[in-house]
Amino acid sequence: MKKDDREDGLLARARQGEGAATAAVIEGLRPRIARVARYYASRSPEEAADLEQEAWVAILEGIPRLRLEVGDPQQYLLRVGKWRMLNFINEQAARRHEELTDDLDEPVPSRPSADAHASHLLDRIFERLSDRQAVILRALLAGHTCAETARVLQCSTANIAWHMGKIRQVYQDLTGQAGGKQRGPAASF
C-alpha cells in the first residue's frame, strides 16, 4: 500500500468522524500549522497559540467537508486553517478600533511637555474646524492612523486626507505660515 493510499484512507475515516483518524490527521498537520501561526504572530499583535487554536477550529470544521477526489485534501485543510488565522487577525484589529468614535468627542488631554503657546494654538485650531474635522484631528492626535479613522468614520482615506488639508490650512492661517513651512513648538501637524 502506497503512502498516498494510507493518507486517503486516514482522511476518509477522519471525514466519517473516527476519533483516532482525526487525531492522526491533526498530528500530521501540527508542525506546519505551528510554523504558520508563529510566522503570522511575528507580524501581528496576536499570540501564536491563539492563531493556532483558530486554525484547529477551522480544520476540524473542514474535515467533514473534505472531497478526497479533488486536489490534495491536506493542502485544503492547511489553507482553511491559514485563512482562519488571517481572518482572526483582521477581526482583532477591527475590534481594537471599534470603540474609536466613543472617545473622539472628548478634548485632547494636555501633554505635560506642551507649552502654553502650543495649547493655546491647538484650542484656536479646534475653534475654527468643522465638527468632522475636529473628530478627525482628535483621532489623529490620539494616535490613530488615517486608515483606522476612515474605517470607523465610514469614509475613505482620501476623505481623511482632504480634511487634513483643510486642518493644515487652518494651522497655516493661524501661524501666518505659507506653503507648509513649519516653525515653533506646534509645528507637528
User: Is 184 domain-assigned?
Assistant: no
Please classify residue 95 by burial: count the beta carbons closer than 10 Å to its beta carbon, then call 0-12 exposed, 13-18 middle and 19+ buried.
exposed
Quick check: 2 pLDDT over 70? no
121-143 per-position pLDDT tens digit: 888 888 999 988 999 988 888 88
Q: Which long-range contacts (CB under 8 A, 24 or more apart) does 107-113 make?
A: 107/138, 108/138, 108/141, 108/142
Do 151 and 84 lie in a common domain?
Answer: no
Do 91 and 126 lie in a common domain?
Answer: no
Would you call 133 helix, strand, or coil by DSSP? helix
Find cell 475613505 and name the residue.
156
Domain extent, residue 34, equals 3-98
57-99 per-position pLDDT tens digit: 999 998 888 888 878 888 999 999 999 999 998 888 777 665 5
pLDDT band at 35 (very low <50, low <70, confident <90, very high): very high
pLDDT band at 107 (very low <50, low <70, confident <90, very high): low
- Write out the three cell numbers for 29: 498537520
Distance of alpha carbon 56 from the chain centroid: 21
User: Is 36 domain-assigned?
Assistant: yes
**Number of domains within the chain:** 2
- Choosing from 70, 98, 126, the residue where a domain stops is 98
The mean pLDDT value for 158-169 works out to 91
> Would you say the pTM of this structure is higher than 0.75?
no
- Choosing from 75, 98, 121, the residue where a domain stops is 98
- Separation CA 171–CA 165 (nearest Å): 10
User: Is 186 domain-assigned?
Assistant: no
User: Is 40 domain-assigned?
Assistant: yes
